Structures are given as structure tokens and as C-alpha cells.
Structure 1
């Protein structure tokens, strides 16, 4: 009765024009699911920072006004909103969010839940990513998505600062990355060193701060028909935060148990939401890490024929058994600033939106150590006069700037949802080589050089239409894109090389002949339709036409289907699609000279671009064209019980005319005649050459498995468990398509070692087992990640087949190959919530201090560069830092 009288009094005061003050009241209730009370559920007054959690019996109490909206959320359950109408509010939550979370990626016509999707999609929230204990987005995804791989690279020039990442073992170039559904620009770097992903171009995933991300959607299916080039392996969509009305600060730090690799980071995220639905979210972050060092310690140098008891250098080797090397993660400093904003039109008729950010990153990695018997320093440039000369280790330093900006409007037109946007993105990388010299400059040589740099940018305009027509959903649209790639020459001192010593030691600068400014444009149009003739059956199709100014056009298409198993229990799904990837501008126009060391021989390797007359006319290499693909997948999702779900998906991806970066093409060893290739080498003062060419067809087959079991009552807490796995294999179909002139002269353009980068450099299996236990204010996470074996293949096998006087030796193609065994990495994260506003966690990554197998040279000293490398560096599983201890504190206000 009193509530009724209070309501009448408020109405009387309102109509009399008198001010009304609404006093917040205590709202309480019980939160449960189908099995009983739910402890630890987050309860927040929407649009404020006021919040609490339910106790062990599911009870909560919070200060709120009549008319306020309470948001109830918990891992494994669908987020629920309820309006306050009195002092009591009981809530029943629905479990199974792992299969029912709404995702945007996968089609262009209508958002769907993971259960409804006709293709496999992972939906990963920010908390899930942070609970890996990893520092950057690429490493977080490695420990959350079995088919995604990225690991730190050592002694690989700029590649050490980008860490190539790929999905389903198909290389960095074949995964499309989106931010809020808009295409993210590629990096300026081509991975040209001996690492996984060699010869490819990817997106700089380190340029997107995790603190700005609400969730990541990973589409594990070909999607060129919807999104265009690069989506052969799948799509990664970074969805930025919005509708946040509080400020959060996260401070973290860590170090390895070896005492190196210290890291420190801090990020701030804050947001505002308007009563009319407008929003602004801003993220600022800083992160730095120090180097790690895990070199080999051979104590002798077989590359240069210097024994441990050498009369001249034996004492130096005794004092420097690691040959002065620094082998590990590079030094890094990174600064991020991102935003996401939207302003609705009046009467909810549309919205203006904009988002973007800038990342500035400086890094320092290390080249091979120049021992005192390798490079002399007669002019005391890198040591003081009168002191003993101990050699030097050049540093390779990068300055990376990545920025992107999107602005657009959404509105209704003839009952169509219309989205018109423009996007600009740019990645620039500048190189410096320090603590080095140019022998040819003598006493006038600098000890630090600007050796040039690269930049890539794209500008896009998109116009998309979508509409629901009952059982049919349609979408169509168009895209125009402009791309630019440039290479900047270094300072003259960096490439000065009259006597063939290679210019600046470790990395001669880009020369004026390597400088380039290239651009191209393309346009695409697409159509997408989905038909649901019944509640159970979904049939979809898409087609896209794309035309590029530099190599022509392409048509891709896709069909998909899903059949629901009823009662939200699961679904059968399948798809078939064709796809394509345009060769990147980098792959078309890149050229440079690199210094190589092998068997004590110093050599200069030249990369010639695809438009160079030497490549096109003298060697007869054809113009680069688009890769094409055929992608088939089929799978099942099923909820065994409301909180236990499973999905399994088979896939097969065939890629034709894959663009590859050839191996070294050098002198054939016949001193009696000079073939056309050797003429080119002599004319350009290099010992070998490389180029890009469409030459390989590959076939990738795999299976993805995901099992989620959430909200298991265990003691006084709740346990959630996830088992996810990927098994895949890539093979090369048919023969390598070698240009006729090279084939006629006996050259192999893609040897066994280069083939292994496609077929065996990444694990063929990866299994993740994650356990998450909530106990009152405590949270315990135990992650076990199995990285399958990888195999390094030798380019050729030395004496195999040679005649040493007793007849030719048997040929064994695998004589020097090595398979590195699969290993399990265990991570432990312990968190504690001191209050609604302060929480902390401690993580131990690689708890058991597991390292890859050590390199077994099998008598071939080139495999580990004379013992300089202890762990594999040309194939990659999980790096070799060992155990890392981390701690973080989070504040919310």
C-alpha cells in the first residue's frame, strides 16, 4: 500500500511541476540457473560503475532506482538485462553461451549465434585472452585458438619484431584481419628471413592493444566471397569496446626465471555512454620488454675453422664459449592510443560512427656476433685504442608506426540497413643498424647507419546494404580500395661497397635502385543471401567479383548450409567456397641485398622484384597473378546438456598458384662455362639471387574440435573446462613450376628446406586443455597446451651421393633432417578480487620450464651455424624463453 501511495505522490508532484528527487533503494534477490543458485554472478547497474556479485547461495544486494536496468553476467551464461520495478528481483540465467553468443563475422546479411552459424567461429572475450598470461594479442590467440600460431623469432632482422602469425597452417598472407568488421591494413614488412611464413605478408597484430578489444571473432572458413582477397584460411574480427561507463587501469610486470626478459605494461580504458545511445571509448597503453638470451655454447667455431685450442684464439673462445651471441626475444617498447565512438541520429534513424588508433613501437634485435677473427677493427671504431679487440654484435633496430581510422554512417533506406564507410590504414617501418661498421669506409665509417625502410597504406570506401525479408535475408555492396607500397633507400654510407665486403656489417642499406613507390587500385561487388525455409534449415550463398588494376579480375563464390538438431541442441553444418588472394604489392616490388654466412663464407644475396627486366626478360619469370583456392568444411555442434557443448569441424583447403619466395639461386659449381644465371650474378656483384613466383599448389586437410563444460559444482566453487584441438597436414601437390630457363640449367627454385616452411615448420597438431575454477573471490586457471612436433628439412644433404673413392654414397634425402618432439606448456594463473574495484593475479607461464629439443646437427655444422643456436630457429613451436613469472593489478572506478 505504501508503494502505491508513493507512486501517487510522485505523479502528483510531477504534474504540479515540482521537482522530484528519486532516492535509490536496496534491490536484492537470488540468481539461479536450472540446477540451483549461482554464486559469483556479476550484477551491474547499466550505465554506471555500481556493481556487486552474488554470494555462495546466489544472493545479491545492490543500490538502484526504480526504472534502472540491472545487467547479470557470468562466464558460460547468456548476459541478461532486467528492469528494476521494486526492491525484489529474482533472476534465472540460461547457460550455454559458448554456443549461443552472437557473432557478426561469417555472413554479410544477419548476425547469428555460434549455434546458428553455418561455419565454425570462435568467440573470445577480453578476460579469456588476458587469462592466457600472454603480453600481446598474437600470443594470446596462440594460446586460445588451436589452429592459430605465432611465436617469437630470433636473429631474423625485422621479422623478429613482427612474429609471423597464421591460421590453419596456411601462412600469414591468407588470413584476413578486420577491426569492427572493416579491413585492417597489412604491415609494410615482407618476411624474407629463414622463419615460418618466409616470403609472406601479414597484418601487424602487435599494433592492436588487447585493452581496446571487447572480443575477437575467429572465422575458421574460407570467406573470399564475402570479404575479398586474403580470406582463404579465415577471418579474424577484432570487435572494439563500447557502452562502457567506467574507467579501468591494468598494471602488469614479469620476468623469466633466468632473470632476463623483464617486461612492464600499463593500460587504461575509459568510456562514456549517452542517454540517446551515443558512446565513446578510449584506450591508452604502454608496454616494454627486455631481451632474453639462450645461445649455444660450442666453445669452438667450425664455421671459420677455429678450434677450441687454437693458439691464437683459444683463450677468446674459452672466455666466450657462446661466441658472443644474443639469441632470444628482442627488446621492445610500445605505445598505443585507440578509440571507438558513435553518435546516433535523432529518432533512432541512424548513426555516425568512427574508430581507429595509432601504435608506435621501437625494437632492438641482434645479428650474428662478429668475432675478432671474422671482422677486424683496425681503426678502433668499436673498441678503445690500447684495449683488446673482442669483436662486436650489430643491433638491428626498428621504428614501427601503425595507424588506422574508419568513419561511417548507418541509416535506413527503403527498409534496408545501409552502411557507408571510409577506412585509411598505414604501417611504416624504418631500420637502423648500430654497433657496426662499413669496412670499405675505413676510419671514416660510422658505427650506426640509417639503412632505409618500408611503408604500406590502403584507403577503402565501402557501401553495404542488408535487409530481412522474413525467411530470406539479403545483403549486397561494393568496395573500392587504393594501395600504396614504398621502399626508402638508406644513407649512402650504409651501402657503400666498392670491394664487395657487403656495406654495413649485418645489413647493407637499401640502395637507390631498391627504392620504389608503387600503387594499385581495385573494386569489388558482392551479393549474399540466406534462406530459412524452416526453423531448422538454413541455406546460404554468396558471390563476389573483384577487379585489380595490375593483374586482372576474379570471381569467388560460396554455398553453405545448416540443419538444426532441435531444441537448441546443436546443428549439422557445411560449406563449399572458392577464394583468391591477390599478390601483395610488397611481393611484386620488393628488392634488396642481404648478407649471408655459411661455412665461413660471406655472401651477398640479391632479391629482384617481379617487374625487373632481369627477372621477367632474362630469366623468363611470368608476371605474378592471384592465388586461387577451393575450401570445403563440414561439422557438427551439439549440446549434450545445457552447460556441456561440443563441436567438430573437418576442412580441406586447396590453394593453386601459391606465391612463393624462391630459395638461393647461385653458381652451379661448373667453372668451365658460365650460364645465364651466373652472368646476372657477376654483373650485379652478388653470389645468389631470389625472386617471387607463382609456383606451388598446396593441399591442407584438418580437423578442429572444441568441448566446453561450464559451471560444474565442485566443492564450494564452480569449475569450467575447455578442451580444444586442431590436427592438420599440408602437402605440396605435383611438381614445382620452375621457369623454363632455370629448369634447363638444372636449378631448383624451391628446395627441401623451403618446402618444409610450408609443410612442417608449424605444429601439425595443437591441443588446449583449460581449467577455470572460481571460489568466492578467488579464481584459479590451469592451461595446458600441447604443441605438436615440427620438422626441419635440410636443403641438400652434403656428401649424399658423392663418390669418395669407394663408389657413390647412398642418397638419403633425410640424412640431416630433424624432427623436434611435441611438448606440453603449462600455465598457472591465480586471481583474487579484493573488492568490486580492485583485483590482482599472478601467472606462471611455462610452469615446468619446458624448452624445445636441442638441435642435433648430425654432422652438419650449417644446421646450427656452428653451434651458435641451441634451439630450432627455422621451425617454430613455442619459443625458448622458459618459465616466465607475471603479476598484474587491475583497478576499476
Structure 2
């Protein structure tokens, strides 16, 4: 197949005239004369380029004698040099200074590049991947660009329909730390309760940050709690915002899904479109303000036509929610002296969503036929407000780099339920209710101090600092009709999503202080050692001390060995500690409460449920980086992560239970569930493999990338309490175990061919998602077999200012294997799996740059 692809690409290249070329060669080195392996050398204004080999050498054919070559390497300042006839052109690249520093996660040494760190770091150029992919939001962009990144678009999952749970290496969404420009990002106020991914977890809403505002995304694939604090068990995602000035960029994107099964005579649905603008203004000599405005619309899809009953088919709605997402973001740096700089960044995001809840059919006892004679699909409408701002001062004092900052973040969910009723109100019920919601605010003050000693050993970097964080979590009630039962013989509250009642109202805070020390030394020109330690003290559960040791050894200029061992932790989120929700049910003729009980409730105390404690982890990784030939790089990294006392949401305990039923009846609780450290441990083992090759082909250049993740997780025994001993199957049953195990497919393989000729480029990609097994409501396995998705994108640059992309994702319209809708967690023909359930997506993108 590969040979045939090459043949097609060569045939395409034959349409272009062969121009006379000029060969240029040279070396790229740092200030000390050390070769920079894998540095990029590009002919300015074209796609023509190459990377340096294991000795830092390059060779490139350019189209004209007055061409300009641009050399780039992460962690170093960009260098441009003009070509002269038959030139031998060398580049010497200087470290980025503290006032113009390139952020790289995994090392606090500003002189370190991503390829020099002891842990694997992926650097993803957003401008590059947005021209080659049809996805419009950050979660989906990363889903197809980084094999270790996992995100599932959910439906039938209440709040999770509006925020896609995402994680690294199959761990929980709350076990990955997100930074923006190196500063901690606040989490979402949402705790995932329903659906199959991230149940019981909180996470970070990456889709609140517009892709158009991002320069690149760095993914540290290693435990980093000792370096960055809580949540960094699986790794760190650092989002670096744009700094461009005097350039207006605008993009218009549109796409639509091709349904495999027709519904209401529609062959296409789920229209997506996006418009964005980005512009930067220069301030003084080295300052700037860069601003991005972004609007994204996503319409409903309907995939309910997987059911067998045609009459039921016509009454059901099941698919993606409708989303309106608008954002305004900025990034700014202003010099206030020769060695001092003020900086600030942040933005606001407003999202409105309409998601389908489970269908209530005409004869359902929760329906009022005079209002809905054909039954109804309740709509859970959300309004999500997200905002964040960081302000800081960075400067140099007696060779010490000092960075003092403060970051405030806020996330709020407001729920409205539409196309619904409160059945207990009968024909007098309204069809729309304010159901209340929740919010989270976080404030982080941060001080980082670093110094690099070039003359000690072969280079010594010392970093230390502290952080103080305060968080506040609230639940606010909805209007009375959204939660109240006016007639105990009928169902109360708004159908589809009962509102939060006054008894659910919560207002809780906590704070924590942390301090760290990080020492990184080049003991020799070949051996790097990094050691970090971090102490944290929480107001609600105590203290923790964690450490990390990493190394990188250059066996040759082309081969390096890297590895690390560390301990980590994650403090339970405030939502996991204090979220509670009450709704009314009718048991044996008497109205009783069904309660999702918080960790400090009367129910959990009566059952002897202990207070939540931190999750702890042990991480280890080892890997090789190789540049065996010019234009070829290989990295392979194995990892092991053991997480102890993992927090999960239990199953529901009923008042019919022979052992604890009377206790629940005394508490007037019909059913109860809660958060607890139920899993004694989970162990995750895996391998990340990335092979990249770039070579001239015909009159163009072919870049080939194979990126794969292989992942395996084991679950330990269930931690229970004396009163619930023997009830492990309810405490954490087989369905829940399967959901955790399926947080990532056991394998994900991405093979990409990218061919460019002058102004034209073509991208062909194959993505294989491994087999996933889930337990349905009958506790039988639903098997979603391995599937391959095919993507194809063509891009043409009409000029340096205008480009057009046309393509498709999953162009062969491949779907996961179907299951019975009545038995899936989502209520549809599939539970959410990584490849999605919407079928082929065709798109076009028009880009402007002036």
C-alpha cells in the first residue's frame, strides 16, 4: 500500500515544472559549538525544508540564489541567513533569554529544548495541524495529533455532553495538569456523573481555549507532581499562546457529517462552522499585545436510527449536542526596564449547549399526554461561563531569573431544562425550568526563581519557588418547579434533569501552599541529571512530599537514553468532596429522597465511609531517542504508573438491601451513592513510539510519521468499609471496572503521509483504534472491535496571504460496532468510543494572513 501511495504522489508531482535548484549545506550548532540534532532549516516562504542529522549537519536544495534560510530549534532564538551561490551556510543559535523565553514543560531550565529533557515532550504546532485537519476544537485536534491523548465526545451524559472528558495514557481526566504559558489552569466545575468516560472525575475544559489563539501545545508524557504539583500524575499539557505582531490572520471553517443511516430523509447533519481573527500589536521594542476572537457552532447530529422499531425510530433523538461557543483571548508582554518585563494573558469563553436526554415515550408514566401526545425528548440546556486572567512580572536580578505572578480562573455551569415537564404538576406544568448549577473559582499566586551556571560542571540549573492556591466551590439551587414533588403519587422535578434543591446548596473553600526545589546538572557533555522535590500542605487533608529523579545520557550524537522515577499525588477536587444532588422518588407509597451524598453527609457518616484522601502514585519511564539517518528520528518510551486509593463514584445502594436498608429508610433515603477511595490501586503500563522521516521526493518533500501508543491497565481489589463488606459488586461493580479499563483503547496507531510541492500539499492519514470492551446493563460484554479511520486533506496556497484546505475525516464512513440502545449507558446504539459515532466528516477551510 505504501508503494502505491508513493507512486500516486510522484504522479501528482509530475504536473509541476522542474526548476533549477541550488544545493546549500552546513551545520547548526549552539553557542558552545555543540550540534543541534533535529533542528529545522526551511526556505523562507515555502514548504521546502529539512532537519539536521546526528552531527548537526543539513543539506537542502533551494529554488533561487537569493533565497533566505530560517533555522529553528525549540528553546533557541530563530536565525535567518541569506543564501549565496554554492554557499556553505552555518548557523549558530543562541539560547532564548528569560525575557524572550520559550516555555518547555519537563524542565525549568530555559536553555533546554524539548529533545534534551529527561522525559518525553511532544511539541505540537497548532498552525500546522489546523491546516491539515477538519477538527475545530482543541480536544479533537489533540485526539488525532497525539496518540497518548484520549478524548471522548459524549452524548446522553448530562453535563459531560457539554465538556469532553480528556486525559493522557488512559488515566483519569483529573490526573492530567493543564498549564497556559506555564501557569496552572483552573479545572471545570463539572464532575462527570454519567456516561462512560471520566465518571466521578473532574477535568479541565480545553475547548474553552480557542485553537486560533494557540501557537503550540506541549505534552509532557510523564508524572510531574514533584515539579508542578497536584493533578500531574499522568503528565502535563502546556498551552503556549501566540505572540505574533503586525499580522492579521483570519480563518473560516465549515464542515458537515455524512450519516451512514438516513433519518428524516437527511443524508447530512451536524453542521459545524468556525470563524476566527488574530492580530498582534507591537509595544516598544520587545513588547506586544496579541488578541484572538473566535466563534464556533456545532449543530445536533441524530444517530437514533440504529434501533430496530421504525415507530420508535421516528420518536427518538440521540446524538451530539448543539453548541454555540464564543471566546476572546489575549497575550501581552510589556518591557518596563532593560531587565524587567510585565506580562498578562487570559480570556473569556461563553458556551451555550442543548443536549438530548433520554426519550419519554407517549405511554410513559412520566409523561402528560395532553402536553406531549407523542412523548418528548427533554433538552438539557447549559450556559457555561469560563474566564481566566494571569498577570506577572518577570526579570533578571544579579543573574537570577525571577518570575512572580497571580492567576485567577472561574468556571460556572447554569442548567436549564427545555421541552420537559414536572409530571407532579400535571397539565399545569410548564415546559421549561431553571435547574440551578455549580461553579468553581481558583486563585493561584506563584513565585519561580531560577539561575543557570554555565561554568559549573557542564552546566547547572537551580530552580526553586512557591505557590499558594485558594479554591471555592458552590452549588446553587434551581427554581422550585425544577426539583419539587407536588404529588407524591407522580414523578417530581423536571424530566431529563431534576434541578438542584435548597438542601443541595453548597459553598466550600480550601487552600494549599507548596514549595519546590529543582536541580538540573549536565555532569558531562553526555550525562544530564535532574532532581526535584515538592512539599504541599492542604487545609482540608494535610501534607505531602514528593520527588522525582530523571536522567538523559547521550550514547552518541545520534542516540540518547532517558528515564525517570517519581512519586506523585492528586488531591480530591472540591466537587468530589462536596457535590451532592437530591431528587424525589416514590417507594412503597411514600415519598423518599434519592441522594448522591457528599463525603461529609449524614448518610456517609452512618455507613462509616471515611473522608476522601489524596491519590498517590509511583511513576517510572525509560526511553530511547535516535537519529539513525538524515531526516529520520525515532523515539520509544515505556512507562509504568501505579495509582493508589483512586477516587471513584460508587454504585447505588437501595433501601431494600437486607443489611443496610433499614438504616437508609431511617434516614429517608431510597437509594444512595457517594465518592470514595474505592480502588486500592490501578497499574498502567504502556509504550509510546514515534518515528518521523522527511525526505525530498520528486520536486517536493514527503514527511512520514508513525505515532503509536500501546496501553494496558490492571485494577486492584476494592477498598470497602465494615458495614459494606461483601457488597463490593455494588460498591464498584463490573460495569464500573470496564469503564475505567476502557479510558483508552489498548492501542492507538497513527500513520501520516504529508507531501508538499511548492504551494500544494496533500495529507493522508490512517488511525487505528484498538478493541474496547464494555459491560452493558445486563452485565454482558459489548465488544467494539478495532477500526481504522482514514483522513485526507489537500491544501493550496494561492499566495502568501490566502490558502484553502479541503478534506475529510473518516472519509470511508466507518462506525463502531453497534450495541442495543436499551442496554448501553448512553441510551444509543453505541457507548462513546474514541473514534466517535457520527461517521464521515467533510470540511473546507479558507485562511487569510496579512
Does TM, scored on the shorter chain, surpass 0.5? yes
Change (3 A) 1:280 1:795: same
Q: How does 1:187-336 map to 2 (within 5 A)?
A: 187-258=188-259, 259-274=268-283, 276-300=285-309, 318=310, 320-322=311-313, 324-336=315-327
The corresponding residue for 2:113 is 113
Change (3 A) 1:745 1:717: closer
Change (3 A) 1:221 1:596: farther
- Does 2:739 correspond to 1:757? yes
Contact kept, 8 Å, 1:33 with 1:95, in 2: the verdict is no
Structure 2: segments with no counterpart, 5+ residues: 1-19, 28-39, 47-59, 94-100, 260-267
The corresponding residue for 2:758 is 776
Aligned to 1:138, the other structure's residue is in SS state: helix
Distance apart, 1:695 and its partner CA: 3.6
Change (3 A) 1:56 1:643: closer
Distance apart, 1:743 and its partner CA: 1.3
Give, in whole Å, the separation in 2 of the partners of 1:641 and 1:87: 27
Choose the corresponding residue for 2:388, options 404, 411, 418: 404
The TM-score normalised by the length of structure 1 is: 0.83
Aligned to 1:513, the other structure's residue is in SS state: helix
Distance apart, 1:507 and its partner CA: 1.2
Choose the corresponding residue for 2:713, options 721, 730, 754: 730
The corresponding residue for 1:863 is 823
Contact kept, 8 Å, 1:102 with 1:114, in 2: the verdict is no
Contact kept, 8 Å, 1:621 with 1:693, in 2: the verdict is no
Give, in whole Å, the separation in 1 of the partners of 2:88 and 2:501: 69
Contact kept, 8 Å, 1:32 with 1:93, in 2: the verdict is no
The corresponding residue for 1:742 is 724
Pair member with larger Rg = 1
Change (3 A) 1:296 1:692: farther
Give, in whole Å, the separation in 1 of the partners of 2:191 and 2:645: 19
Distance apart, 1:256 and its partner CA: 1.2
Q: Deviations over 1:827-854 (max 9, x none)?
A: 1010000001010000201011000011
Aligned to 1:321, the other structure's residue is in SS state: helix
Give, in whole Å, the separation in 2 of the partners of 1:582 and 1:78: 36
- Does 2:566 correspond to 1:577? yes
Contact kept, 8 Å, 2:299 with 2:322, in 1: the verdict is yes
Give, in whole Å, the separation in 1 of the partners of 2:318 and 2:690: 36
Distance apart, 1:505 and its partner CA: 0.9
The corresponding residue for 1:888 is 845
Q: Deviations over 1:157-176 (max 9, x none)?
A: 11011111110001101000
Change (3 A) 1:480 1:77: closer
Distance apart, 1:532 and its partner CA: 1.1
Change (3 A) 1:337 1:298: closer
Aligned to 2:762, the other structure's residue is in SS state: strand
The corresponding residue for 1:58 is 63
The corresponding residue for 1:533 is 523
Contact kept, 8 Å, 1:295 with 1:868, in 2: the verdict is no
The corresponding residue for 2:625 is 637
Structure 1: segments with no counterpart, 5+ residues: 1-27, 45-54, 63-69, 301-317, 383-388, 798-815
Give, in whole Å, the separation in 1 of the partners of 2:366 and 2:229: 53
Give, in whole Å, the separation in 1 of the partners of 2:69 and 2:341: 24
Q: How does 1:127-166 map to 2 (within 5 A)?
A: 127-130=127-130, 131-166=132-167
Change (3 A) 1:241 1:113: same
Contact kept, 8 Å, 1:261 with 1:289, in 2: the verdict is yes
Moved more, 329-338 or 743-752: 743-752
Choose the corresponding residue for 1:415, options 384, 399, 408: 399
Give, in whole Å, the separation in 1 of the partners of 2:41 and 2:220: 33
- Does 2:347 correspond to 1:341? no
Distance apart, 1:662 and its partner CA: 0.7
Q: How does 1:155-194 map to 2 (within 5 A)?
A: 155-194=156-195
- Does 2:774 correspond to 1:792? yes
Distance apart, 1:443 and its partner CA: 2.9
Aligned to 2:670, the other structure's residue is in SS state: coil
Distance apart, 1:90 and its partner CA: 6.0
Give, in whole Å, the separation in 2 of the partners of 1:349 and 1:334: 39
The corresponding residue for 1:800 is none
- Does 2:613 correspond to 1:608? no
Change (3 A) 1:730 1:275: same
Aligned to 1:293, the other structure's residue is in SS state: coil
Give, in whole Å, the separation in 1 of the partners of 2:822 and 2:129: 39
The corresponding residue for 1:803 is none
Choose the corresponding residue for 1:493, options 466, 481, 484: 481
Contact kept, 8 Å, 1:39 with 1:57, in 2: the verdict is no
Contact kept, 8 Å, 1:297 with 1:323, in 2: the verdict is no
Choose the corresponding residue for 1:849, options 800, 813, 816: 813
The TM-score normalised by the length of structure 2 is: 0.87
Contact kept, 8 Å, 1:454 with 1:486, in 2: the verdict is yes
The corresponding residue for 2:494 is 504
The corresponding residue for 1:385 is none
The corresponding residue for 1:809 is none
Give, in whole Å, the separation in 2 of the partners of 1:145 and 1:327: 29
Change (3 A) 1:723 1:488: same
Give, in whole Å, the separation in 2 of the partners of 1:708 and 1:603: 61
Give, in whole Å, the separation in 2 of the partners of 1:742 and 1:374: 35
Measured on the aligned residues, the alpha-carbon RMSD in Å equals 3.0
Contact kept, 8 Å, 2:577 with 2:675, in 1: the verdict is no
Distance apart, 1:298 and its partner CA: 3.7
Change (3 A) 1:744 1:877: closer
Aligned to 1:852, the other structure's residue is in SS state: coil
How many pairs were matched up? 781
Give, in whole Å, the separation in 1 of the partners of 2:506 and 2:41: 62
Contact kept, 8 Å, 2:21 with 2:61, in 1: the verdict is no
Q: Deviations over 1:786-831 (max 9, x none)?
A: 111111125665xxxxxxxxxxxxxxxxxx2122111111110100
Q: Deviations over 1:613-650 (max 9, x none)?
A: 2212x000001111100000000001012310000001
Distance apart, 1:143 and its partner CA: 0.3
Contact kept, 8 Å, 2:369 with 2:375, in 1: the verdict is no
Q: How does 1:434-453 map to 2 (within 5 A)?
A: 434-453=418-437
The corresponding residue for 2:96 is none
Give, in whole Å, the separation in 2 of the partners of 1:632 and 1:745: 34
Give, in whole Å, the separation in 2 of the partners of 1:419 and 1:570: 35
Distance apart, 1:33 and its partner CA: 4.6
Aligned to 2:315, the other structure's residue is in SS state: coil
Contact kept, 8 Å, 1:284 with 1:337, in 2: the verdict is yes
The corresponding residue for 1:52 is none
